[in-house]
Amino acid sequence: MLVQKLVRRFRSNFLTGIGLGLFVATGLTAWITLLRLRVGTGPFERLDTTYSATVALYYGGGLVGGAIIGVLLPLNRSPWGAALLGMLGVFPLYFGVALTNSSVASAFTLHNVADSAFLAFLVGGTVGIWAWLDDNPQGAGVIEVLRHPTSSVVAKVWAFALAIAGVSYVVLPRWTGKWNPTLMLFTAFVLFVIPLVIAVLVTFAWKRNSGSRPGS
């Protein structure tokens, strides 16, 4: 009985992921179809590809990404798991784009993998966090504290963000001078940009919440 329940849940999650992947692929295909009808094949030729190859890429990446999301859907229970799920879900699409611009011999290079992972981190991670927040308007733990911060929390977040960003600004150029450019950009984004962006967003949340309190 338990095994049957787990199998049904797995099948449901898998089909949900596949459906999501096909939905995204169809949306992207509709967009490039309108683009092709309006301006012709020029945009595809400039990228050294074709309309049919792009459609195949979208549906191939959508199916693979959707399957990954379906298999790992239980990760969606936490915000960090949702971010990871989003990253893994869109990675095949970006990696597929990298493959179309590389020969077979040089397809699986550190450059292609790093570029695809960085874009998946930016887009998929953001979408994953946004989707989790939308599905969980009343969370708990650190996320809830940052959603409804006090002035003390705002001060602590800014102190942490400025400390991390300041150290990164001084140290990273010395450590990462010979790194892969994408890895350098990823490290700078994580250790410099993200802490400051979080601090700004927490500040906005505090001001919004303060303005909505009675008597303010």
User: What CA–CA distance (Å, rounded) separates 65 from 119?
Assistant: 14
User: What CA–CA distance (Å, rounded) separates 18 from 59?
Assistant: 10
Band (pLDDT 50/70/90 cuts) for residue 214 is: low
User: What CA–CA distance (Å, rounded) separates 75 from 215?
Assistant: 41
Do 98 and 125 belong to one domain?
A: yes
pLDDT at 64 over 90: yes
Do 51 and 113 belong to one domain?
A: yes
Do 191 and 99 belong to one domain?
A: no
pLDDT at 216 over 50: no
User: Of 135, 168, 201, which residue is a domain's last?
Assistant: 135
| Number of domains comprising the chain | 2
User: What CA–CA distance (Å, rounded) separates 94 from 197?
Assistant: 25
pLDDT digits (tens, 9 = 90+) for 13-49: 999 999 989 998 998 899 889 888 888 888 778 777 8
Task: Report the candidate in 155, 97, 103 with the shortest Cα–Cα distance to residue 123.
Answer: 97
Do 35 and 96 belong to one domain?
A: yes
Residues in the chain: 216
User: What CA–CA distance (Å, rounded) separates 160 from 155?
Assistant: 9
> Are 67 and 14 in contact, with CB atoms under 8 Å apart?
yes
User: What CA–CA distance (Å, rounded) separates 15 from 38?
Assistant: 34
Do 131 and 150 belong to one domain?
A: no
pLDDT at 125 over 90: no
User: Of 135, 157, 177, which residue is a domain's last?
Assistant: 135
With b for 16 or more beta-carbon neighbours within 10 A and e for fewer, the 110-132 pattern comes to eebbbbbbbbbbbbbbebbbebb
Distances (CA, A) of 37 to 31, 33, 51, 86, 168: 10, 6, 11, 31, 47
Do 125 and 175 belong to one domain?
A: no
Do 64 and 102 belong to one domain?
A: yes
DSSP class per residue in 115-139: HHHHHHHHHHHHHHHHHHHHH-SS-
DSSP class per residue in 166-186: HHHHHHHHHHSTTS-HHHHHH
Task: Report the candidate in 68, 80, 57, 56 with the shortest Cα–Cα distance to residue 20.
Answer: 68
pLDDT of residue 175: 76
pLDDT of residue 3: 80
For the entire predicted model, the pTM comes to 0.71
Q: What is the residue range of 203's domain?
A: 141-212
Band (pLDDT 50/70/90 cuts) for residue 89 is: very high
Do 15 and 59 belong to one domain?
A: yes
Distance of CA 101 to the CA centre of its chain: 22
